Amino acid sequence: MLTGKQIVVGVTGGIAAYRAAELVRLYVKAGAQVHVIMTSAATEFVTPLTFQTLSGNPVHIDLFNLISEREIGHIALADRADVIVIAPCTANLVGKIASGLADNLLTTTIMATRAPVLLVPAMNSNMWDNPIYQSNQARLVEWGYHFVEPVSGLLACGWQGKGKMAEPEDVFEETVRLLAPADLAGETILITAGPTREELDPVRYLSNYSSGKMGYALARAARRRGARVILVSGPTCLEPPGDVSFIKVTSAEQMRKAVLENLSQCSVVIKAAAVADYRPAERAMRKIKKGKQEQMQLNLVKNPDILAEIGKAKKGQLVVGFAAETHDLEAHALRKLESKDLDLIVANDVSRPQAGFEVDTNLVRLYYRNGESEQWPLMSKVEVADRLLDCMIRLRRPAPVQREEGQ
């Protein structure tokens, strides 16, 4: 996701400085080149050697220590950066930036850069609530600086309240969003994910192996690229991406209701959920006890076909379906594409290694309404999500026809 990106990470003097080490590790793992600037106070909490080892690059501290004979440190770092991330960011640093002060390597680099700057505050809850601090942050937001606000929790000082540094994973996600193309801005995308559960009694249900990973990857990728995302999810163990409209459901009936209620405001619908085809005709009010009989029969009735209803109710929306099959992949996918009135269907054989449920990769084949198809190689579900969004952009906004000169 961040391959080749140049990220400057600023670390200031606070107990949360140790959490910046995990953030640097995430950036490096994603393919970025990371350059760390530490304030002198930060070195009292974490040694520069820690960040040098994690980043693979020298750590910068001294304003007057030139990177090379021809480069002035803060200018070189400012020009090199695709994004500058300050984590943790103290109230003191926010005040300095808001006041235009540039008295150390970090503040001069921030002053000199044209790259986006992401600030990740961490401080005592009373400092966070202080109107002076809040005024400084509001001023920086107005000037185009970006923030990942702190969360509530037990602080190092013993206080309980807002001021704890956001999770490194959330900071990473916001960084990726800042660097991603905003080519889905203006789109509202409804995505369904995960399985549904159809209850037999208060302790048992019918379901499937869907983990929700594909749908959540799509929601995260669409959010990064500027879309407004509505994520309707069955039960999963996944955390929903930040800043999406999250609707948690359990049964197929609940998913149907949530989807149809939000359909009119969407420009794109992606049905990645594995919805149960049948449900018990009756739900027992008490736990069904094991009797003496050797066999037990369940009376099942058909669930509503949500995707078919979307196809009938859509008014100009682009509709994408998924087909998880174990045999006759193309025949089943094409039948579903036609019967549900879809624009595109993404099919995969879940019996193949690394292409089914509960794994991080997928091997998919796409079938379009116009008869075209394409086979993608095995790749991560994150990569599948981004490439699928590229396909939807092409379908939503076809390239203009190039006319020859004189026509």
Task: Give the residue among 370, 315, 313 at the shortest CA–CA distance from 338.
Answer: 370
Minimal CA–CA distance to 29: which of 3, 67, 53?
3
- Report H helices in 81-153: 91-99, 105-112, 125-129, 131-142
> Which one of 89, 157, 237, 266 is the catalytic residue?
157
Look up tokens 């990470």; give the residue: 9
What is the token pair recorded at 68?
A: 């090379």
| DSSP-based helix, strand, coil % in the chain, nearest 5 | 35, 25, 40
Return d(Cα 368, Cα 394) in angstroms, integer. 12
Cβ contact 294:316 at 8 Å: no
Cα(first)–Cα(last) distance of the chain, in Å? 42
User: Whole-angstrom Cα distance, residue 18 to residue 28?
Assistant: 16
Residues 51 and 12: beta-carbon distance below 8 Å: no
The 8-class DSSP code of residue 328 comes to -
Residues in the chain: 407
Token pair of 128 as six digits: 């966070």
For the question of residue 157 being annotated catalytic, the response is yes
Bridge pairing between strands 6-11 and 33-38: parallel
Half-sphere exposure (CA, 13 Å, Cβ side) for 329?
A: 18
Phi/psi for 87 (5° steps) reads: -150, 115
Report the candidate in 357, 216, 210, 328 with the shortest Cα–Cα distance to residue 274. Answer: 210
Judge contact between 38 and 61, C-beta under 8 A: yes
Q: Which residues contact 11 (CB under 8 A, 6 or more apart)?
A: 17, 20, 36, 37, 38, 39, 42, 46, 51, 86, 87, 88
DSSP 8-state assignment for residue 212: S
Both tokens of residue 307?
A: 């995707």
Q: For residue 40, give Cα distances in angstroms to 9, 48, 78, 118.
A: 15, 10, 19, 20
Residues acting as catalytic residues: 157
